[in-house]
Amino acid sequence: MSEKKTHFIQNIINEDLAAGKYPDGVHTRFPPEPNGYLHIGHAKSICLNFGLAIENDGKCNLRYDDTNPTKEDTEYVDSIEEDIKWLGFSWDDRKFYASDYFEKLYEYAVILIKKGLAYVDDLSAEEIRQYRGTLTEPGKESPYRNRSVEENLDLFSRMRAGEFKDGEKVLRAKIDMASPNIVMRDTVIYRIAHAHHHRTGDAWRIYPMYDFAHPLSDAIENITHSVCTLEFEEHRPFYDWLLDSLDFDANARPKQIEFARLNLTNTVTSKRKLRQLVEENYVAGWDDPRMPTLSGLRRRGYTPAAIRNFCDEIGVAKSNSVVNIAMLEHFLRDDLNERADRIMAVLKPLKVTLTNYPEDKTEYLPADNHPTRGGKRYLPFSREIYIERDDFMEDAPKKFFRLKPGGEVRLKHAYIIRCDEVVKDENGNITELKCSVDMESKSGCPNANRKIKGTIHWVEKNSAIPSEVRLYDYLLTTDENGNISGDFIASLNKNSLETVNALIEPSVKYTAPGTHYQFLRMGYFVVDKDSTPQKLIFNRSVGLKDSWAKVKDK
Ligand code: ATP
Ligand code: MG
């Protein structure tokens, strides 16, 4: 992280620092609302905010934006912290909650009222909407807009005391109902909600709105650069108006900077939609390996480095776009290539009997664990083995270089075999192959280097471990441009999970959850969190074929 990245936010920071602003250094924050699990889009924001702090020798706070009592929960708080730490970032001792500022925020609201810059409005939500006007028509002033400061102070304190019902009154900023920016048309800053809050309990009957709480939380924490996503661009004038109105020094107070949200093909990055998938049981939970949540990606076998590298590579944009999920997969493959030991697993087994191999013999053949890191293990080999069903074809085309009747193939780390006979059941299904072994073809023997076009993987029958392997595919199907047609539920990929009973070489017997492997020729897999030595479970993280390289070079 030595070289400073150049993107427009870093440029703004460079200018600010060069101008002598912010003598205490760069201070950012990551502000999740604890109403769901973090997803890959949040990872982008985390990498950006914590990354800016690291690159500029500054600080980044974790701040829960918990102003919406009815949707929030401590379950989410815990998962958010686990995910940020897992990604490799630290907020040190700077964990804050907007709800910690409720008293201060209330005082700021009182100051606004005293300055004649806020008023209590009795209009209903529906009426407020009608009065607001449209993009082409100015709004209309509320009949309650010109209440006296005293009346406003009295009503606001009674709102706090719980004298009114939900929706009966709100506190609004008094700005300009004719502003071309609708956010500036007397934005609502407090609402009544007789609701229990996950931290403040029943202490409050009024809650600040995001537009009010967020800039002030930033200012209270001495944030310098408040980075958020593009949908808040129209809210920036209010952000500035509020801090100006409350006399925060224009040279020292935080500034809001917007960047484009990360969207990915073949999935959704909206907490609302992700919650729907969980609540309506389309997936097995927030950490289902098909989910783009950080806990789902982790269970799928994603590594923090893969996600960080991906976020770095996509950069910081000013206009929204959809990133091809193949690019995320590319970075996973890149990282797992280094990290994962190579082993052999047969996902859809076909039995092979080696007719000329001695019946009572088992030998142990050396096999490299990793092409560059080295390490060895010994694979049992005997008369009965399994190969991948797809690696045999009865009526094979000319270019099929795996096993076919009369044809030869090399068994990885072992011998060359030839298929002599195909055994079928009464329905014509292939149940077994009878093959003969070239006993002189293993490593160190005269035929070790005999040229054979195809090499396939295998496992030995007696030692292979029956395991559950979950083959995941994309959550959503999209058209060739990555677009989802209509309702996303209708686009759910019906084949996003296929579970197979695989046979895996015995070296994995005591493997621990979270261990990464490359199953030779089959892809990268990770040991699931529910896996035990009694019942091994593997999740496919990603296949071996890098379709991103292809897309990129187009
Ligand atoms: P959602 O729309 O999924 O509910 P949100 O914006 O409401 O997301 P927050 O918990 O408020 O979720 O988000 C915390 C921070 O993460 C915010 O600063 C938000 O801008 C940022 N963020 C959320 N989604 C994305 C995304 N897809 N790309 C980049 N940043 C994001
Ligand atoms: Mg939000």
Query: Average pLDDT in the 293-322 region?
Result: 95
User: Do 456 and 391 touch, CB atoms closer than 8 A?
Assistant: yes
Q: Is the CB of residue 31 below 6 angstroms from any atom belonging to ligand 1?
A: yes
- Residue 261 annotated in active site: yes
E strand or H helix at 524, and its extent?
strand 523-527
**pLDDT computed for residue 551 by the predictor:** 66
Dump pLDDT digits (tens) for 5-54.
Answer: 789 999 999 999 999 999 999 999 999 999 999 999 999 999 999 999 99
- Residue 537 and residue 465: Cα distance in Å, rounded? 11
SS3 173: strand
**pLDDT computed for residue 2 by the predictor:** 44
User: Do 279 and 337 touch, CB atoms closer than 8 A?
Assistant: no
User: Do 102 and 201 touch, CB atoms closer than 8 A?
Assistant: no
Out of 65-74, 104-113, 210-219, least confident range? 65-74
Out of 50-59, 470-479, 482-491, least confident range? 482-491
Q: Which ligand is nearest to the CA of 72?
A: 1
Taking CA atoms only, the protein residue closest to ligand 1 atom 26 is: 41
User: Do 207 and 191 touch, CB atoms closer than 8 A?
Assistant: yes
In order of start, what are the domains of the chain with their CATH numbers? 8-259 (3.40.50.620), 271-341+467-553 (1.10.1160.10), 345-456 (2.40.240.10)
Q: Is the CB of residue 262 below 6 angstroms from any atom belonging to ligand 1?
A: yes
- 1 has a pLDDT exceeding 60: no
From the list 171, 204, 185, the residue with the least C-alpha distance to 67 is 204
E-strand ranges in 355-407 read 363-368, 376-381, 384-388
What atom in ligand 1 is closest to the CA of residue 65? 11
- Residue 264 and residue 302: Cα distance in Å, rounded? 16
Q: Which ligand is nearest to the CA of 232?
A: 1
- Residue 271 annotated in active site: yes
Q: Is the CB of residue 214 below 6 angstroms from any atom belonging to ligand 1?
A: no
**pLDDT computed for residue 344 by the predictor:** 98
> Looking at 271, 308, 442, 540, which residue is catalytic?
271
Which tokens go with 62? 């974790």
Q: Which ligand is nearest to the CA of 60?
A: 1
> Looking at 5, 33, 94, 339, which residue is catalytic?
33
Q: Is the CB of residue 235 below 6 angstroms from any atom belonging to ligand 1?
A: no
Q: Which ligand is nearest to the CA of 323?
A: 1
Dump pLDDT digits (tens) for 392-438.
Answer: 999 999 999 999 999 999 999 999 999 999 999 999 999 999 999 99
| Gap from CA of 286 to ligand 2 centroid (Å) | 18
Rounded to two decimals, the pTM is 0.94
What atom in ligand 1 is closest to the CA of residue 261? 28
Kindly report the backbone phi and psi dihedral angles of residue 390, in degrees, each rounded to the nearest multiple of 5, phi listed first. Answer: -70, -10
Query: Average pLDDT in the 450-465 region?
Result: 97
What atom in ligand 1 is closest to the CA of residue 270? 3
Give the residue ranges of DSSP H helices in 207-287.
Answer: 210-220, 236-245, 271-279
Dump pLDDT digits (tens) for 246-267.
Answer: 999 988 999 999 999 999 999 9
Query: Average pLDDT in the 155-182 region?
Result: 98
**pLDDT computed for residue 55 by the predictor:** 96
- 550 has a pLDDT exceeding 90: no
Q: Given ligand 1 and candidates 28, 229, 322, which is best to mutate, with the most ligand atoms within 8 Å of its CB?
A: 229
User: Do 130 and 172 touch, CB atoms closer than 8 A?
Assistant: no
Q: Is the CB of residue 198 below 6 angstroms from any atom belonging to ligand 1?
A: no
What percentage of residues in the chain have a pLDDT greater than 90? 93
Which tokens go with 379? 């694979």
Q: Is the CB of residue 404 below 6 angstroms from any atom belonging to ligand 1?
A: no
| Gap from CA of 32 to ligand 2 centroid (Å) | 7
> Looking at 147, 253, 261, 333, which residue is catalytic?
261
**pLDDT computed for residue 159 by the predictor:** 98
List CB contacts of 206: < 8 A, sequence separation 6 or more: 106, 159, 160, 171, 190, 191, 192, 193
Q: Is the CB of residue 292 below 6 angstroms from any atom belonging to ligand 1?
A: no
Taking CA atoms only, the protein residue closest to ligand 1 atom 10 is: 32
- For 89, 289, 290, 481, 505, the CA distances from 495, given in Å and listed in that order, are 35, 14, 11, 20, 27
- Residue 526 and residue 300: Cα distance in Å, rounded? 7
| Gap from CA of 35 to ligand 2 centroid (Å) | 9
- 3-class secondary structure for 308-321? HHHHHHHCCCCCCE
Instruction: For the chain, give the mean pLDDT.
Output: 95
User: Do 110 and 77 touch, CB atoms closer than 8 A?
Assistant: no
Torsion of CA 462, 465, 468, 470, to 10 degrees: -100
Q: Is the CB of residue 42 below 6 angstroms from any atom belonging to ligand 1?
A: yes
Q: Is the CB of residue 337 below 6 angstroms from any atom belonging to ligand 1?
A: no
What atom in ligand 1 is closest to the CA of residue 227? 18
